[in-house]
Structure 1
Amino acid sequence: MQQHIQNNFIILTGGPGSGKTSLISALGQRGYATSTEAGRAIIRHNQIVDGPAVPWKDPAIFAELMLSWEMRSYDSAADNADLVFFDRGVPDIVGYLELSGLEVPAHVRKAAGIFRYNPTVFILPPWSEIFTQDTERKQTLEEAERTFHAMVSAYSDCGYALVEVPRVPISERVAFLIETIGAVT
């Protein structure tokens, strides 16, 4: 498969608890196509069956399942000509593995090169006022900050231009995204 850039595929990334999922949900409520975050769904499913694919048991298998999920999400959205907002993307797996101190396998780097999104990626910075932990998000705020920096590095290394989303109410974040996308697409 050759590299194919989907300019209508917009990634939102960053550390946990930065408001990505809430922002994706708000975009969906406004009629935009969205994709579900791989990590939370994989954790939830593995907790139900007491499976090994959670970051605190087997981060490598967790990464493989996230990669599979992200490639499937990409393929599922491929026929959509409108904007599609992704709650993370394939390069997030590169960042996750590097953050975890694991080697990034060649096939993961290859996937990040093949499954290409809009060259502008929106990154949400850590935001202590909204950060919470739950049964799927066990990271601390410090880990969220490290994750943010790992995503900056991973996406930059994959050739994406990062735009930081301001720490403002969701309606203003949505307006910022739509205005910025209009300027870059």
Structure 2
Amino acid sequence: MSRFVVVSGCSGGGKSTLIEALAKRGFSTIEEPGRRIVREELAGDGLALPWVDLAAFARRAVAMAIADRAAAEAMPGPIFFDRGLIDAAIALEHATGEAVAAPMADAHRYHRKVFLAPPWPEIWVKDEERRHDLTSAEAEYDRLARAYPAFGYETLVLPKVDVEARVAFVLAALG
């Protein structure tokens, strides 16, 4: 859908900060599935955490991303997704070797332009919900940077600038 805009890329690269800035400007946004799942799992039995069972985590992320898309259909204007279904499907493929991303990418389209937050070591930090290291985050970025163009998307790498300049970059790229 042309209204569904994905911000993907490196963990810790400033995606969520950009999404929050877009929300403050009045745009509809969807929070990253992974962060929501980690919070839920840490409050519960903690079995579907990426550092415990990546496949279970990725399966939940796929289901949540599909539900997010369905809910977003009722939202007005462009909707900015902090990661999307393709991110979850690529994580599931990485964890299991199952070839799931291509069929999901065909069935659930987003805006043709996808914004990628590149690795940015100067701002990258671990936290309670992000326990992996920068090397793992960079490997994930590489998988996503290959996957999106393979599924017919134009990727635009976000500049390493302050959040307001990133917002301006995204809005200008979308016209």
Query: How far did 1:140 drift?
Result: 1.0
Task: Tell me the residue number matched to 1:135.
Answer: 128
- Whole-angstrom distance in 1 between the partners of 2:173 and 2:111: 12
Worse overlay, 118-127 or 54-63: 54-63
Q: CA RMSD in A?
A: 1.3
Q: How does 1:90-109 map to 2 (within 5 A)?
A: 90-100=85-95, 102-106=96-100, 108-109=101-102
Task: Tell me the residue number matched to 1:21.
Answer: 16
- Whole-angstrom distance in 2 between the partners of 1:105 and 1:59: 16
- Out of 101, 110, 123, the position equivalent to 1:117 is 110
Stretches of structure 1 lacking an aligned partner (at least 5 in a row):
1-5
Amino acid at match of 1:103: G
Task: Tell me the residue number matched to 1:163.
Answer: 156
Residues 28 and 76 of structure 2 are in contact (CA less than 8 Å); yes or no, is this contact kept in structure 1? Answer: no
TM-score (structure 2 length as normaliser): 0.95
1:134-177 CA-to-partner distances (Å, cap 9, x unmatched) read 01101111111111101111212221110001000000000000
Task: Tell me the residue number matched to 1:3.
Answer: none
Q: In the superposition, relative to structure 1, how do residues 93 and 104 fare at CA in structure 2: closer, same or farther (>3 Å)? A: farther
1:46-67 CA-to-partner distances (Å, cap 9, x unmatched) read 0111231111111111111101
Residue-pair matches, total: 175
Query: How far did 1:104 drift?
Result: 2.6
Worse overlay, 130-139 or 48-57: 48-57
Task: Tell me the residue number matched to 1:177.
Answer: 170
2:164 is paired with a residue of what secondary structure?
helix
Stretches of structure 2 lacking an aligned partner (at least 5 in a row):
none
- Whole-angstrom distance in 2 between the partners of 1:43 and 1:31: 27
Q: Identity of counterpart residues, as a percentage?
A: 35
- Whole-angstrom distance in 2 between the partners of 1:77 and 1:48: 26
Question: Which consecutive segments of 4 or more residues in structure 1 shift more than 6 A?
Answer: none
Task: Tell me the residue number matched to 2:54.
Answer: 59
1:71-91 CA-to-partner distances (Å, cap 9, x unmatched) read 111011113340100001111
Query: How far did 1:112 drift?
Result: 2.2
1:110-148 CA-to-partner distances (Å, cap 9, x unmatched) read 222211100110001010111010011011111111111
- Whole-angstrom distance in 2 between the partners of 1:90 and 1:157: 15
